[in-house]
Amino acid sequence: MTNLSRPFWHPSRSLGFILDWDGVLADTKLDFSGIRNKYFQGKRVPLIEAAKFLSPDQKQELWIDIYELEMNGAEQAAPVPGSIELVNWLNDKGIPWAVVSRNCMDSINLAAERIGFPLPEVTLSRDEGPQKPDPEALWLAAKRIGIQPSRCVMIGDFLYDLVGARRAGMRAVLVERTGEDWEFWADACFPRVMDLLSNMRDPVPLIPWEYHPLVNRKGQEWLEKAWNFKLHIPGDDPLISRKVFEAASLGIGHIYTPPGGVVNIDQWENWPGASTVFLDAPLARSLRSYIEGHYPLISIEESYEGYTLGDKDLAAVLEENLS
């Protein structure tokens, strides 16, 4: 079995999948350029959100135009190559999955019928409420399939899928697109769904999104070594929050603080954006809460283990110890 242990990641290890519909599972070849020309002078705006700037009559006409375009596309739908095989793989593995789309439910049902696609019980369209990139849409899907958002992966073909996943605290995979200037939002990119499926069957370690900049600067070998470096930061260090964030950004995977430590007033005053709930709260737990949104894989525990940092420059310490 391929070693996929931290700091590496792979979508096949996710406990739940959230799949976009159009472009990932069904190909309806929707082209909204005519609608954008009609209502928004050709600007590439998010149509659903931009509708609020129109008059009531224009808004009603816009919804009709979008609905008709989606229904016409659904009439001509074709399965994205590999899509049915992908959901069959998920079903065989017992991995729950859901569909979350900005399309209307009528068009999703029609396209699914045309291509013989087995829609899951949890299929959310724009008719259900919040839309990607609003994280509420993905949180709702995760809740309904019974999986924590942090253990889910979003599979999409557009920017809204990726940004929505990032905001929801999910991993994100881009498929059926190449060369987009917003690819950096994804944990991984596959030109085709078929490529993703092949990689799912024979997984190789992938670099998580949060470490892409570090690996681009320092290389994968640096990340592997830094991840296994154990760092101890004294519990009375007034700059501990900043040092923990720096350590995480440099790839360190194991950070330790003294047992029983609590956040003191000096640490709180030097903690950018810290809530007052951190005051006198357990130090390791507070630091973990602070850092997990940016670096969800690292471990922050109470222990005297590790290299004691003190006032030394962390980057210099790592350069010396990892070379």
**Residue that terminates a domain, selected from 171, 189, 206:** 206
Residue 132 counted as domain residue = yes
**Residue 4's pLDDT is what?**
82
101: domain CATH number is 3.40.50.1000
Mean pLDDT confidence for 221-247? 96
- Whether residues 200 and 263 share a domain: the answer is no
Q: Is residue 171 one of the residues assigned to a domain? A: yes
End position of a domain, from candidates 184, 206, 228: 206
Q: What does the alpha-carbon distance between residue 146 and residue 137 come to, in Å, rounded to a whole number?
A: 14
Structural domain includes residue 6: no
Sequence-distant (≥ 6) Cβ neighbours of residue 159 within 8 angstroms: 133, 180, 182, 185
Shared domain for 150 and 272, answered yes or no, is no
pLDDT tens figures, 125-146: 999 889 999 999 999 999 999 9
The residues near 160 (Cβ < 8 Å, ≥ 6 apart) are 46, 102, 131, 132, 133
User: Residues 208-221: pLDDT tens digits?
Assistant: 999 999 999 999 99
Are 22 and 115 in a shared domain? Answer: yes
What is the DSSP pairing of strand 78-79 with strand 26-27? antiparallel
Residue 2, pLDDT score: 58
How many C-beta neighbours within 10 Å does residue 129 have?
Answer: 11
pLDDT at 323: 79
pLDDT digits (tens, 9 = 90+) for 10-23: 999 999 999 999 99
Whether pLDDT at 229 is above 70:
yes
60 belongs to a structural domain: no
Amino acid 218: pLDDT: 95
Centroid of chain to Cα 187: 7
pLDDT value, residue 1: 40
Tokens of 204: 């190789």
Q: Percent of the chain scored above 70 by pLDDT?
A: 99
**What's residue 62's pLDDT?**
95
Phi, psi for 18 (deg, rounded to 5): -115, 120
Bridge partners of 157?
Answer: none
226 touches 253 (CB < 8 A): yes
The domain that holds 273 is classified in CATH as: 3.40.50.720
Same domain, 166 and 19: yes
Residue 259 sits in the same domain as residue 173: no
pLDDT for residue 235:
95
Host domain of residue 107: 11-29+76-206
Q: What is the DSSP letter of 170?
A: -
The angle formed by the CA atoms of residues 115, 119 and 124, to the nearest 5 degrees, is 120
Average pLDDT over residues 112-119: 96
Q: What SS3 class is residue 212? A: helix
285 pLDDT tier (thresholds 50, 70, 90) = very high
One domain, residues 114 and 243? no
Average pLDDT on 284-289 reads: 96
Residue 68 in any domain: the answer is no
Q: Are residues 82 and 193 in the same domain?
A: yes
Provide the token pair at 139. 């949180």
Domain termination site, one of 206, 238, 259: 206
- Shared domain for 182 and 89, answered yes or no, is yes
Domain tally for the chain?
A: 2
In a domain, 277, yes or no: yes
In whole angstroms, give the CA distance from residue 272 to residue 278.
Answer: 12
Distance spanning both ends of the chain, measured CA to CA: 29
Q: Are residues 199 and 234 in the same domain?
A: no
Reduced DSSP (H G I as helix, E B as strand, rest coil) percent helix, strand, coil of the chain, to 5 = 45, 15, 40
Contacts of 45 (CB under 8 A, 6+ apart): 36
Same domain for 258 and 183, yes or no, is no
Spell out the residues 6+ positions from residue 63 whose beta carbon is closer than 8 angstroms to its own.
51
For 42-93, the pLDDT digits (tens) are 898 999 899 999 999 999 999 999 999 999 999 999 999 999 999 999 999 9
* 176-182: long-range contacts, CB 8 A cutoff, minimum separation 24: 176/23, 176/24, 176/80
Tell me whether residue 62 is in a domain.
Answer: no
Bridging pattern class, strands 97-100 and 16-19: parallel
Identify whether residues 194 and 291 lie together within a single domain.
no
* Residue 206, beta-bridge partner list: 9
